[in-house]
Chain A
């Protein structure tokens, strides 16, 4: 079964750091581009970041550029999001999502909650 599972969400103070992970199973992870999408409590979806299959092409939302770093380890079938200088507005459920050849996100994880509060 094709599956994505996020982990690493936690309560962190403003200015702190956190690393999210997304473990893939049931498909050839290295063949797919991946994304992070977040959703603040009671709010809509916000795209966060993209990484291509090799990790050589990366994009970020302006709201996280310079603070977040996306990466992947194809040998471990894993996607990561390093989040630094966290702000209250970064508090959200973070989803990893697989991108298919026609650019849509066909598989999503269940999400991991990041809480930023003192």
Chain B
């Protein structure tokens, strides 16, 4: 199974900060990667698919990029509603595998 190594596991940031989260795949997965946001007690929500395509309705401060087997989710200016846990998911093959998650907390 493809392993997705996500970092950091948590970070503290202030409103207005730029934040980046990285996932590294254990092998090539083309751009078959999605990012999800999950708030406590809620289901995950799709932010980005195909590594860099913004899902409809998602604010433009979220962006995704890829370089080889490294994938990055960036939030350009952190807003209060962005404090949550973020997960990457490879959808290149089965079994699908998630990263371990990154909890973004208020500094």
A61 touches B46 (CB 8 A): no
In the bound complex, residues from chain B placing their C-beta under 8 Å from that of A111 are 43
A108 touches B94 (CB 8 A): no
Interface residues on chain B, size class: 20 to 34
Q: Mark B55-89, 1 if CB is under 8 A from A, else 0.
A: 10000000000000000000000000000000101
Q: Nearest Cβ in chain A — how far from B88, in angstroms?
A: 10
A-B contact pairs, 25 of them (CB 8 A): A35-B96, A44-B100, A45-B36, A45-B38, A45-B44, A45-B101, A47-B96, A59-B94, A62-B95, A95-B44, A103-B34, A103-B91, A104-B34, A104-B50, A104-B55, A104-B89, A104-B91, A105-B46, A105-B89, A108-B43, A108-B44, A108-B45, A110-B42, A110-B43, A111-B43
